[in-house]
Amino acid sequence: MVRKSLLLGAVLALLAAACGGDDDSTSDTIATTTTAIATTTTAALPEVVEASVAVAGSSLGDILVDQDGNTLYLFLPDAQGPSVCNDGCAAAWPPLLSGPVAGDGVDAGLLGTATRADGSEQVTYNGWPLYYYADDAAAGDTNGQGVNDVWYVVSAGGDAIGP
C-alpha cells in the first residue's frame, strides 16, 4: 500500500512538473499543437460536385444551362482554349467548375474540362470554358448576352449565339 502511494505520488509529481514550471512556452506549444491537431482532424474535406449541363429553351433559342436552369456563357477571348478570365473577371463571370455530367439535350461528346490558372477544373463544351454571369438573378436570365461583344450564351451545338 505504501509502495502504491509512493508510486502515485511520483506520477503526480511528474505530471505536475510536465504541466507547470517556469517555461510557459512549452505549455503554450503543447496547447497550440493540440489545438492544431484537433482543428486539422475535424476540418471537413471539400465536397466533390459534378455539374450537370443541359439544354433549355429561351428567347434566344435552345441554350446551355446548369442543373438549376442557370444560363451558361462563353468568352470569345478564350478561343476554345483554357480560360483567360481570372481574378476580377472571374468575380463577374464565375466559372462552372467540377466534373461535367450530360443532362437533357446535351451532346456528351462535347463536354470536357480545362485546367484554370488556379489549378481548378472548369467545365467546357465544344472546347469553350463555361461561365455564369453574376448579374443573372434567376434561372433563365440571359443578362450577360452580348456584354462587351465578347460574352455570349452557348447554343446546344456549342457555339456562341449572336456574334
Domain ranges, residue 26:
2-42
CA 65 to CA 138: how far, in whole Å? 12
* Whether residue 57 sits in one domain with residue 7: no
Band of residue 103 on the pLDDT scale cut at 50, 70, 90: very high
Indicate whether 87 belongs to any domain: yes
* Whether residue 71 sits in one domain with residue 19: no
Q: What is the model's pLDDT at position 42?
A: 35
Please give the tally of structural domains in the chain.
Answer: 2
More confidently predicted of 103 and 2 = 103
* Whether residue 36 sits in one domain with residue 66: no
The pLDDT tens digits for 7-24 are 334 433 433 333 344 444
Indicate whether 163 belongs to any domain: no
Indicate whether 160 belongs to any domain: no
* Whether residue 16 sits in one domain with residue 58: no
The pLDDT tens digits for 111-153 are 999 999 999 999 999 999 999 999 999 999 999 999 999 999 9
46-60, 62-76, 108-122: segment of lowest average pLDDT: 46-60
* Whether residue 18 sits in one domain with residue 59: no
Indicate whether 64 belongs to any domain: yes
Q: What is the model's pLDDT at position 49?
A: 62
